[in-house]
Amino acid sequence: MEIEFIIFISMIGIFLLFNILLKLPVSLSMVAGAIVGALIGGEGIPLRHLFEGTFVYIDTILIISTAMIFMMVIQESGLLEALTSSIVRKFYKSPIVMLILLMFIIMFPGMITGSSTVAVLSAGAIVAPILIMMGIPNPKTGAIIAIGAIMGMAAPPVNIPAMLIAGGVDMPYIGFEGPLLFLTVPCAIFTVLFLGLKDSKKVDFENIKGKLNYETYNEYGLKLYLPLIVLVVLMIITRAMPTVVPNLGMPLIFLISSAVGIFTGKKFNLKNTLVESMKTTIPVLGKLMGVGMFIQIMTLTGVRGFIVNNALNLNLAMLYIAIIVILPAFGAVSSYGGASVLGVPFLLALLSGNQIVTAATLSFIASLGDLMPPTALAGNYSAQIVNEKYSEVLKFAAIPFFVCLGFALLCLLTSNKLGFLIF
Amino acid sequence: MLYIYLGIVLLIVILILKNMFEEKDIFFQIDAALVLIPLILRLLLIK
């Protein structure tokens, strides 16, 4: 047995031992796995390497932190609630359009922050009561929120697994918007209609209208939406006119939009909002730090090269099977970890395809891992929101999960023909 | 642009420190410390 394989198995084993049996957080379990890997590899405890690994994610830390500040600001200012109420008011006569738009609301925080947890806890918590009021049973609502949050996590502009995979092969995170939208939007629409349409047809929408809060919008009007407009405009013009408007970077764009949000809606305590936003974000960031250290030690000890070599040696059929089975299954540990540990070798093994489409698709498959028990970040939080056991939610999430996986496989197989999606 | 970038890093560092000292959960504090180290190194332009 090769030493790299022994190191890899030890790292995974220690991670699972600490995380599942000792119930330690994912971040610390990954650090423990990394330290044991380094010790077995004869590197001692290489502090420099451990923290070198965390620097891969320094830009990601800034993006997630500022995005979370933006999310909290628009939540506190009443924008998110007003947006949901407006959708129900305008589209209650058409359940199909309403369900699709509500699904986009669930996705939105995930798109901005790259975290399914944030999507579930912010927009998911606002939309869930509306879906239940529409007549959709609690477990189905939980499944819609879980998959919506995952689609948001995978959708552009911020897709952390795609950033991890791209970073692993020194590819800039540019041009991913088209392929990621192509993957996530159809899957999100299918999921919400498949799970929700049958039940939502039976409901009296006039009844729902009375239970929604329109006061914020009535008080502040269109001004309330200004932070969102500023965000979208800044994101577009910095890309469309790079010679006129300098590239501000996502963190600064989020902070400018957040600053606008302070003055456009309900008054709130800014200091508390800032501190609270970081409180939600720290565990996610800690997990990224753990992944960074884990990957760095894998690289240091030769485990990463060992995995790449073995992935390259697989025949094509086995490779695709490995991608659709192992990559989402790694989500039981961490979808970020799956993208980083397995996404990179899988991308290298599929060099004949369109690299951006392939990387986007692999990140999408890795994101689906957030449904995998026992960790199942998106699934467990959604189940909590609808007061159900996760096993009940998972039953309804299974079919959309496999459809999304099938669609992703199709995109992988035809990645060369999907190059037109890159703009 | 460098000073704006460092300003953003400083803001995040302050918010993490505030949370770290207010939160009683030891695992949360360790997570916060893990995130702080690269941010402080970047803030001091060491790395």
CB atoms closer than 10 angstroms to residue A167: 19
- Report, as an integer, the average pLDDT of A49-66: 87
> What's the pLDDT score for residue A219?
86
pLDDT value at position A88? 79
Give mean pLDDT, residues A42-65: 88
pLDDT tens for chain B, 47 residues: list them: 889 999 999 999 999 999 999 999 999 999 999 999 999 999 999 87
- Would you place residue A202 in the very low, low, confident or very high pLDDT band (cuts 50, 70, 90)? low
pLDDT digits (tens, 9 = 90+) for A138-173: 999 999 999 999 999 999 988 989 988 988 788 888
| Host H or E run for residue A160 | helix A160-168
Q: How many residues does chain A have?
A: 423
Q: How many CB pairs under 8 A join A and B?
A: 77
Reported residue count of chain B is 47
Instruction: Give the model's pLDDT for residue A386.
Output: 87
Residue of A23, A65, A252, A270 to mutate when probing chain B, most B C-beta within 10 A: A65
Q: Does A289 contact B at CB distance below 8 Å?
A: yes
Place of tokens 């070798």: A345
The verdict on A286 touching B (C-beta cutoff 8 Å) is yes
Whether the CB of A245 is below 8 Å from some CB of chain B: the reply is no
Please determine, for residue A204, whether its predicted confidence score (pLDDT) is greater than 70: no
pLDDT of residue A314: 82
Predicted confidence band at A9 (pLDDT cuts at 50, 70, 90)? very high
Whole-prediction pTM:
0.80
Write the pLDDT tens digit of every residue in A307-345: 878 877 888 899 999 999 989 988 876 788 788 878 888
> ipTM beyond 0.85?
yes
SS3 A414: coil
Q: Residue A27: which of B15, B18, B34 has the nearest Cβ? A: B34
The answer to whether A126 and A102 have CB atoms below 8 angstroms apart is: no
Q: Is the peptide bond before A25 cis (omega within 30 degrees of 0)?
A: no
Query: Which pLDDT score, from 0 to 100, does residue A113 have?
Result: 77
Looking at residues A32-57, what average pLDDT do you find?
92
Please state, rounded to an integer, the average pLDDT across all residues of chain A. 88
- How confident is the model over A232-238, as a mean pLDDT? 84
Concatenate the DSSP letters of all residues of A395-411 into one string.
HHHHHHHHHHHHHHHHH
What gap in Å lies between CA A137 and CA A140, rounded to an integer?
5
Taking CA–CA distances from A67, the nearest residue in chain B reads: B12
| pLDDT number for residue A203 | 60
Question: What are the tens digits of pLDDT across the range A65-115?
Answer: 898 898 889 889 988 888 878 877 788 788 899 899 999 999 988 888 788
Residues belonging to chain B with any Cβ–Cβ distance to chain A shorter than 8 Å: 1, 4-5, 8-9, 11-12, 15-16, 18-19, 22-23, 27-28, 30-32, 34-35, 37-39, 41-42, 47
Is residue A116 within 8 A of residue A363, CB to CB? The reply is no
Determine contact, residues A208/A133, Cβ cutoff 8 Å. yes
A73: left (phi over 0), alpha (psi -120 to 50) or beta: alpha
pLDDT in tens, A357-380: 999 999 999 999 989 876 677 888
Q: What percent of chain A has pLDDT over 90?
A: 43
B9, B23, B27 ranked by CB distance to A62: nearest: B9
Say which residues have a Cβ less than 8 Å from residue B9's Cβ, sequence separation at least 6.
A62, B39, B42, B43
